[in-house]
Amino acid sequence: MTMTEPARTDVPLTGAQILENAKALAPVLRERAAEIEANRSLPDDVVQLLRDAGVFRIGFSRAWGGPEMTSMEQTEVIEALSYGDASVGWCAKLGSDIGLHANFLDQDEARRMFTSIDMHSAGVLPVTGHAERVPGGYRLTGRWGFGSGSTHADWVASGAMVFENGAPYASPDGSNPHESRLFMVPGEQIRSLDNWYTLGLCGSGSCDYTITDVFVPENHTLTFDNPKVPNGPLVQPDVIQRSMCGVPLGVARAALDYVRGLTVERVDMLKGSPWRMSGVAWKDNEHIQITLAECEADYSTTRAGVYRALERQWEVTADGTGTLDDLTPDERVAPALTGWQAFQMAKRVVLRLCDLLGTAAIRSGDPMNRWLRDAVTMAMHPTARDRVTQTVGAHLVGAKPSMRFMLGIVDKPKTESETDA
């Protein structure tokens, strides 16, 4: 594969400017949605549009020349892009994680790696790879599934278990009997497998990829419990999970606006007077009115919950002294729970709207058809599944969560006495 050369620009952009750029892109992306879907990955010029809009820099701090956007602002950008096309929003979210990854890497080395804040990333967190410790770093081998955006990424972050001399490697501090890490590899060093044929999110290029015996220097690896910059809201262990819910929020809003527009224009001829060739306006149909209102309520309450959860998290950590551990149990689970709810809401709302449209929604060229397939597909993502609700419920009652990283829970290094014991 070839890696697109990132635009080298020193032109600063504020968060507000990037959000306006994303909103301006949405109608362009809507017009090209069928092309993006048929391409099965983002076309190169669409990637460049995102780069030029400043989308990939939303996670970078001011120290890097970035806009240092809040989690709420980053989510708004992903929402705006997803309003245009879900696959673009999905890849933009993962691509913009590069600025967040930078906070967990040695800063001098990170600046050598990321030569522009308009570079972008992809990757897979699950630790399906094998990393063998060698002098100065690791030899990384493995196959990772669902590598969204990996076909055009500058850097790819892949989770792997660490081994030494073929045996599981235990963390020296005793916190983990078998260490795992995230490994940053240049995009041209992965091999993409052309296997992304799917129901929805077709344009995300979420194909499998392999890495075979690639040397990864020690300082190109990271864990989310070990930030390399001062404490703050964007260096908490859950940071890369937060803006993903912008995709279902954007899709639900797009579908609602589309059906509301149709409702104003359409007439149901089946309910009119056949001898007068007149029908009943959709806007006067009580069932449609009630359904739209209920869908709007579902969307509005879900979106409000998402942003309030993120805002509270930000309030507690913004001054550089607070961490996620300072949140109450209810506050700590709220971002994961409301994020899960956003995926469920989008699927629920789009399904109800398709039911309103009836046969009009089944044609492949209709945008509702794509939103339905996208909403159903994204709801299969781990952040939208039962393991999230199990994690939340378990944390609230003091039991063991199955996806602790969703709540930013990390293993603490053991004390000397604990290690000796």
Please give the span between the terminal C-alpha atoms of the chain, in angstroms, as a whole number: 50
Same domain, 291 and 397: yes
Q: Is the pLDDT of residue 140 over 80?
A: yes
Q: How confident is the model at residue 271 (pLDDT cuts 50, 70, 90)?
A: low
Same domain, 298 and 340: yes
Same domain, 49 and 127: no
Helix H, strand E, coil C: the string for 10-67 is CCCCCHHHHHHHHHHHHHHHHHCHHHHHHHCCCCHHHHHHHHHHCHHHCCCCHHHCCC
Residue 231 lies in a domain: no
Mean pLDDT score across all residues of the chain: 92
Query: Can you give the pTM of this predicted structure?
Result: 0.93
Domain range enclosing 199 = 121-222
Residue 420 lies in a domain: no
Q: Is the pLDDT of residue 266 over 70?
A: yes
Residue 227 lies in a domain: no
- The last residue of one of the domains, among 117, 150, 174, is 117
The beta strand positions in 121-226, using DSSP E, are: 121-134, 137-144, 155-164, 167-168, 180-186, 191-192, 209-217, 221-222
Q: Is the pLDDT of residue 143 over 90?
A: yes
Residue 321 lies in a domain: yes
Same domain, 133 and 113: no
Same domain, 357 and 342: yes
Residue 6 lies in a domain: no
Least confident of 146-150, 287-291, 358-362: 358-362
Q: What is the CATH number of the domain that holds 78?
A: 1.10.540.10
Share of the chain above pLDDT 90, in %: 86
- The last residue of one of the domains, among 117, 143, 160, is 117
Nearest to 313 by CA among 216, 243, 213, 401: 243
Same domain, 249 and 356: yes
Residue 417 lies in a domain: no
Q: What is the CATH number of the domain that holds 365?
A: 1.20.140.10
Q: Calculate mean pLDDT across residues 91-113.
A: 97
- The last residue of one of the domains, among 161, 187, 222, is 222
Q: Is the pLDDT of residue 274 over 50?
A: no
Same domain, 136 and 243: no
Q: Calculate mean pLDDT across residues 114-137.
A: 96
Q: What are phi and psi of 100, to 5 degrees?
A: -75, -40
Residue 4 lies in a domain: no
Same domain, 250 and 342: yes
Q: What is the CATH number of the domain that holds 150?
A: 2.40.110.10
Place of tokens 């260096």: 235
Q: Calculate mean pLDDT across residues 382-389.
A: 95
The structural domain count of the chain equals 3
Share of the chain above pLDDT 70, in %: 92
Conformation bin of residue 136: beta by default, left when phi > 0, alpha when psi is -120 to 50: left
Same domain, 145 and 132: yes
Residue 275 lies in a domain: yes
Could you read off the pLDDT of 387-398 as tens digits, one per residue? Answer: 999 999 999 999
Task: Return the structure tokens found at 289.
Answer: 């009115």
Q: Calculate mean pLDDT across residues 362-384.
A: 94
Same domain, 294 and 353: yes
Q: Calculate mean pLDDT across residues 154-162.
A: 98
Residue 109 in contact with residue 125, Cβ under 8 Å?
Answer: no
Same domain, 274 and 330: yes
Computed from CA positions of residues 76, 81, 86, 87, in that sequence, does the dihedral angle turn out positive or negative? negative
Q: What are phi and psi of 162, to 5 degrees?
A: -100, 135
Q: Which amino acid is at 397?
A: V
Same domain, 387 and 248: yes
